[in-house]
A = this chain, B = another copy of it.
Amino acid sequence: MTRPRQTSKVTLRDVAARAGVSISTASLVFSGRGPVADATAARVRTAATDLGYAGPDPLASSLRQGRAGAVAVIVEERLRDAFRDPFALAVLDGLAQELDAMGTSMLLVADPGGDGANPVAGHAVDAAVFPLCGRTDSPLVDHLLARGIPIVGSGAPVHDAVGHVVVDEHGASAAATRHLLDLGHRRLAHVSMPLGRARPTHRVDAAELSGSVHPDARDRARGFVDTAPAGSPLVETERPDVAQGEAAGRLLLDVAAHERPTGIVAQSDLLAAGVIRAAEALGLRVPQDLSVTGFDAVDLPWLDRTLTTIEQPGEAKGRLLGELTRRRLAGEPATSEPFPVSLRVGDTTAPPP
């Protein structure tokens, strides 16, 4: 039995030599492209097995063929923050399914934000996806465009050459707000995801929205502002998680009863869950004393209620992003696809007390 030589790397040349054929023929055997006699193919494959050849070097293959076989998936600075929300996971999962079916894999890249070394500069990718609505102004975009790499996003970054999955954030948020108005609520409040640089959870003025670099948060906030009674309070959270939702809830609810909102529109289900926790801690019952709406309709098994929320199937959204990526790779121009969402009424909203 022949020992595979572990010392130096086995290349197609070695395999071809051992099988007594030319390199080109050996290549045809592995790519399965050209016509090769069965006997020859068998000989090549035997030689490959004997030498411990694990298939063509992906680098060399990619270089020649001009495709890297991977796309960059760009998430926020820290992975744990990016994936803390079950919605983000669902999107990523859908995207992974679609990319997997195309035979391309995902290069996970954390966007360092402003400064710092460019994390995609040294990596070969065929396309870049911003699956979560990030900042409008990522510095990576210029680099990617310069390299001629197609970009697909979901709300951000904003650029002509970026294909988008478009959600009517404004309309959805307005629908949730109108739902509360229709139930008879008049004192409403809004809990927003971060709008700019992370700051501790605090009240914001509607006028500050124009400075936001997160279009999804901005548009949801505007949907609320444009629908709710003028002057309704807004709170911007530091992070879109349960703890900060709870902090926002305390900020809004721990006040005199006559000025306490009876309905709160939150920009995500996690924030809504936090608001509900804050309410319960203050002895308020949901929905009898306070109505709460969320956004995304994620599965929260530990929350023993059905949130009134905006149904946004994350997995399907991820698949659509994958589909847009596929089209860009096929040479089609950047287009935007609408992604419909709708209000789902659960048991966290009711007429005001």
Contact = CB atoms under 8 A, between A and B. Distances in A.
B59 A143 contact: no
Nearest to A75: B96
B107 A107 contact: yes
Interface in A38-77: 52, 54-55, 57-63, 68-70, 73
Residue of A61, A93, A105, A120 most packed against chain B (CB within 10 A) = A105
A105 B103 contact: no
Contacts of A243: 301
B246 A273 contact: no
Contact of A70 (B93, B107, B117, B148): B107
A110 B96 contact: yes
Interface stretch (A78-86, A197-205, A256-264): A78-86
A138 to B, nearest CB: 16
Contacts of A106: 107-108
Residue of A55, A79, A84, A242 most packed against chain B (CB within 10 A) = A79
Contacts of A147: 54-55
A169 B50 CA distance: 40
Total copies of the chain? 2
Contact of A83 (B83, B122, B273): B83
A224 to B, nearest CB: 24
A209 interface: no
A80 B52 contact: no
Given A54-B143, A303-B302, A108 B123 contact: no
A146 interface: yes
A58 B302 contact: no
A124 B65 CA distance: 14
21 contacts: A55-B121, A57-B124, A58-B122, A59-B59, A59-B62, A60-B63, A70-B107, A70-B123, A79-B96, A83-B83, A83-B92, A84-B86, A84-B89, A96-B110, A103-B122, A105-B123, A106-B108, A243-B301, A274-B301, A277-B304, A302-B302
Given A57-B63, A83-B92, 10 more contacts: A55-B121, A57-B124, A58-B121, A59-B62, A60-B63, A63-B63, A83-B89, A96-B108, A96-B110, A302-B302
Interface of A: 6, 9, 52, 54-55, 57-63, 68-70, 73, 78-80, 83-84, 86, 89-90, 92-93, 96, 100, 103, 105-110, 117, 119-124, 143, 146-148, 241-243, 246, 273-274, 277, 301-304, 315
**5 nearest CB pairs, A to B:** A80-B93, A54-B146, A58-B124, A54-B147, A243-B301
